[in-house]
Structure 1
């Protein structure tokens, strides 16, 4: 996205990689996420009226990002439970946090009657970059 070079800033130091998240990150995601999700689903041949018909595995950059996603996409509160749980249990441990979210999501889908068949996994990175993939549960 234009004008977002320093919104997520990663620096390699002797202690490891340090990320600084800009205050406007949640707003930048908020401004672009709905269109991104719709385009991703269209490319995969899915036309969905309600994002609540999907399961969601979102990299939990922080509570503000999850709150904005929930509000913008009009998601029911439980849709981001796995992301919130991973954030609470592990914190934001960079890119590998999405694997904790996906593990929780897999367990939830296995134990849920009438689980959603399709879902979206989303992550955000320096630049700001949006990464997303359409997932299918085979349970």
Structure 2
């Protein structure tokens, strides 16, 4: 059980499932992510919860993870890292109080923090498997992207820093537009939307990156491989 991981819970759960599956030959791990933001509503004594109710949504998603699977895999989870950015514990807070679950986020600080640290997190995840950006290696626009859509401002900043072409974060933007930020379960929705785009719209890059952001400030990064994607010449 993973609690109080906020928006990074989905990525953390998939990372844990990957470890469990790889250490139990033939196992299948069921990952379920359920978020009920309504339970954090308090009333006039907690005015910031009104903002949370307008920003976040309820959602539930699931995925099955296995190693050496005989089934047809959708995505292969190749390598994962987790980074905790120093002195950022005030940016996203989640805590259990006497009235119940409470928390807050400073979007004005969160968006630049995500953008300013994303390249280092990507390098740490890609270097061990030989997929460093630049120098003739894979470029950022050669990847498909599964990014937690904390807000449109965060996505805008990530696009700007990485120089991503329009549409590279389309899956994240569509999920945010139609469902809102569903905390940890959001990444499951984005994964499904990216799978749909690959099948229906032909966006079939071979390599991808999944990223989740959460309390701490924590950045979860995972390298994904599309076994049916087009290979870079």
TM above 0.5, yes or no, is: yes
Q: Is the 8 A contact 1:123 1:130 kept in 2?
A: yes
- Looking at structure 2, the residues matched to 18 and 108 of structure 1 have their Cα atoms a distance apart, in angstroms, of 36
- Looking at structure 2, the residues matched to 69 and 53 of structure 1 have their Cα atoms a distance apart, in angstroms, of 15
Structure 2 equivalent of residue 104 of structure 1: 193
Q: Is the 8 A contact 1:44 1:134 kept in 2?
A: no
Name the TM-score, length of structure 2 as normaliser.
Answer: 0.56
**Counterpart pick for 1:11 among 87, 92, 95:** 95
**Higher helix content, 1 or 2:** 1
Structure 2 equivalent of residue 20 of structure 1: 104
**Counterpart pick for 1:115 among 187, 191, 204:** 204
Runs of 5+ in structure 1 lacking a partner?
Answer: none
Deviation at 1:76, TM superposition (A): 0.7
**Counterpart pick for 1:85 among 154, 174, 199:** 174
Compared CA separation, residues 134 and 16, structure 1 to 2 (3 A): farther
Compared CA separation, residues 53 and 15, structure 1 to 2 (3 A): farther
* Larger Rg over CA atoms: 2
What RMSD in Å do the two structures reach over aligned CA positions? 1.8
- Looking at structure 2, the residues matched to 109 and 72 of structure 1 have their Cα atoms a distance apart, in angstroms, of 25
Deviation at 1:18, TM superposition (A): 4.7
Q: How many residues get paired?
A: 139
